[in-house]
Amino acid sequence: MKLSCEVIKDLLPLYYDQVCSEESGSLVEEHLVQCPQCTLELQKLELDLEEPSVSKGEVNAMKRISVAWKKDKWVSFTRGSMFVSALAAMICFISYHIIGAEVLPDGTLAEPFALLPIGYLFVLLFVFFLICNFVLLRKRKIGTK
């Protein structure tokens, strides 16, 4: 069966994407052997399609980068949270010392703005983020091995 170049040109994109039937594929191949013009068309198609579409290796690299970036995002998030918690705890304790606690005549401790419990809460948060950060970094080290 002899096919015209026009028909082959219509089939080439399908053949290139390997979505045409086996029969059409073998017809295209048959034609390509004896038609340099259509072979050129196929090469053009390859060049056209190769540039915008990324190879599998590139896709994998991009996936790895995005995963690493996501992990980095979490690491920087926990680091930032650690910093903010430590700062907040320090502010609480320092202002507690500046304002001072007052012991009321009936013996109860009057804490200004409940700074001590809030300060300890931030210390707790700091420890929590410290552990998160440590776990994330460990995970990343294992991931890059």
How many Cβ atoms from other residues are within 10 Å of residue 77's Cβ?
14
Rounded (5°) CA angle 30-35-51: 95
Task: Based on the shown chain and the rule CB under 5 A, indicate whether residue 35 belongs to the binding site for Zn ion.
Answer: yes
CA dist., res. 129 & res. 77, Å (int): 9
Q: Could you tell me which stretch among 27-35, 67-75, 99-107, 118-126 binds Zn ion (CB under 5 A)?
A: 27-35
Pick from 5, 49, 59, 114 the residue near Zn ion by CB under 5 A: 5
Site string for Zn ion, 98-137 (x = CB under 5 A): ----------------------------------------
Q: Could you tell me which stretch among 30-38, 63-71, 79-87, 124-132 binds Zn ion (CB under 5 A)?
A: 30-38
How many Cβ atoms from other residues are within 10 Å of residue 7's Cβ?
15
Q: How many helices (H) and strands (E) does the chain have?
A: 5, 2
- Residues 38-57 binding Zn ion (CB under 5 A) are 38
Site string for Zn ion, 6-25 (x = CB under 5 A): --x-----------------
Smallest distance, Å, CB 30 to Zn ion?
Answer: 11
Task: Quote the strand ranges of 1-145, DSSP E.
Answer: 102-103, 109-110
Smallest distance, Å, CB 144 to Zn ion?
Answer: 51
C-beta of 36 vs 57, nearer to Zn ion: 36
CB 136 within 8 A of CB 74: yes
Smallest distance, Å, CB 5 to Zn ion?
Answer: 3
* Residue count of the chain: 145
How many Cβ atoms from other residues are within 10 Å of residue 18's Cβ?
7
**Which residues of the shown chain bind Zn ion in the complex (CB under 5 A)?**
5, 8, 35, 38
